[in-house]
Structure 1
Amino acid sequence: MNASQEKQKLLQCPESGIGAGTAPGIAQRIYDHLTEFTGREVRVRVGFIEAQQTT
């Protein structure tokens, strides 16, 4: 597999408050943007992690 055939991965961790919910259709919006920007078919998987932290 040469460099142009390698799978690329992008990890984005948006921050939101506890109980803020998730943005509907976020995977589709990311997919649409990346497909248009790169001109290539992409796969998008979105997961949400809810965390708490003390300061």
Structure 2
Amino acid sequence: MIHDQEPEVVAVWHTASAIGRHFEELPADGTVYTWAGPPLGETHCPGEDAPDYNPTSL
């Protein structure tokens, strides 16, 4: 594998519950990448769905 190439992903897990979503990826090199997100339909930060929300003013 060349250094600037992404390793091949051999497995992906995704779970969802009332408190959020959780993702895991297992590349061929043996590392594990995990991340989480809000429940479906919810925003990452409070107020993101407000009509006057402007992310550049934060």
Query: Which of the two has higher C-alpha Rg?
Result: 2
| TM-score calculated relative to the size of structure 1 | 0.31
